[in-house]
Amino acid sequence: MQYLLLIYADENAAPQPGTPEFGPFMQGYQEFTTHLQEKNAFVSGDELQPVATASTVTMENGKMEVTDGPFAETKEQLGGYYLVEAENLDMALEYASMIPSAAHGRVEVRPVVKY
């Protein structure tokens, strides 16, 4: 099965560039990605630009409406994702727990629909 791991965290709570924590934090991500690749579990994964860069689109009467900002203003923002291949939910949950941002944020695990 495929699972989307959605990484939510307060952007200001993550280790910031220039601090001593930042290096190990980024290295943690690199190691996690490598781990997924070695397990043949990595499908894709990316970091997103800060939520300040977000735009939200909806169609109103056939016309595109764009608003500044994310779909919902929340304390924690979607900052990145991994799409992984996992045998079952337990496996996917284990991967989610290994994501460095899980230490200060949260990871939502969603099974992907397969047609």
Which distant-in-sequence residues (6+ apart) come within 8 Å of 64 by Cβ? 57, 58
Q: Give the residue, chosen from 84, 92, 99, 107, that forms a contact with another protein under the rule CB under 8 A.
A: 92
Chain residues 2-61 in contact with another protein, contact rule CB under 8 A:
3
Six token digits for residue 55: 């735009």
Does residue 67 belong to the site contacting another protein (CB under 8 A)?
Answer: no
# chain residues binding another protein, by CB under 8 A:
10
Interacting residue with another protein among 46, 68, 73, 87 (CB under 8 A): 87
Is position 111 an interface residue for another protein (rule: CB under 8 A)?
yes
| Alpha helices, DSSP H, located in the chain | 22-38, 89-98
Smallest separation, CB 79 to another protein (Å): 22
CB 42 within 8 A of CB 84: yes
Residues whose CB is less than 8 angstroms from the CB of residue 89 and which lie 6 or more positions away in sequence, other chains included: 3, 109, 111
Site residues for another protein per CB under 8 A: 1, 3, 86-90, 92-93, 111
